[in-house]
Chains A and B, each alone.
Chain A
């Protein structure tokens, strides 16, 4: 169970773009990547997705902006727990902002939140005690986002 969660997190880490990493940065060399890195990157990516969607579907803007703000707050808390700033030069890819069908947008975002909830729940299960409460709140928040996107 724990091993499985660890393997999944490692896979998530591999998906984070490596551009901008300084190959000769001593600090990076001496410290292995924190297991929370993929989750922090995911929070930043989810924030970007919701902000883009808020622009594409003005009718949903208020709801989506509140969710985007929550993802930003999650990313900030995760960065604090990691104790290092985000890897530089890797801004989250901003998805297209073409006007879109609200139902499609909500369905896609719900799916993204579901994946995010599952990732946060796995991280919570595998985390040391001092990180469990933060990760639990993030998993629960992502579940409430799915509800808010209904």
Chain B
């Protein structure tokens, strides 16, 4: 999305994406039932732990830690299962994109962490496509803007 100028900026962008994902899953979860609702809860928990790790990492680096926003605008009304699953796929691909963007700005253990986060987002996007009945359930370049 926004051009990044360094590791702190790139990880700050990833943190902003994690905040948005956590918020989105609150909206998504209420329109899902049973296994899909459990999956949404697990996804939200995974994003929370990435958020917490990022806050720790950015604050221990002595840099600025971006704060969460009070609210977000949905790209379209989320009113039922179909629109909730659509948003879940999009939020995971979007978050994957921010982690992907962090890769060139990181090295060593930090890059491996960014790759693990990118991979987890891509996997969840794939599972949500399967739940939604979207085919193909994979994309060739997870996180890359198309």
Contacts and interface: CB of A to CB of B under 8 A. Distances in A.
A108 interface: no
| Chain A binding surface SS class | helix
A145 B103 contact: no
Nearest to B96: A140
Nearest to B114: A136
A33 to B, nearest CB: 23
B144 A137 contact: yes
Contacts of A69: 140
A59 B127 CA distance: 20
B108 A1 contact: yes
Interface string B112-143: 10110011011101110010000111111111
Contacts of A73: 140-141
| Chain B binding surface SS class | helix
Interface residues of A, number: 30
B138 A66 contact: yes
B16 to A, nearest CB: 18
B47 interface: no
Interface string A22-43: 0000000000000000000000
Given A125-B112, A147-B123, A141 B101 contact: no
Interface of A: 1, 62-63, 66-67, 69-70, 73-74, 77, 121, 124-125, 129-130, 132-141, 143-145, 147-148
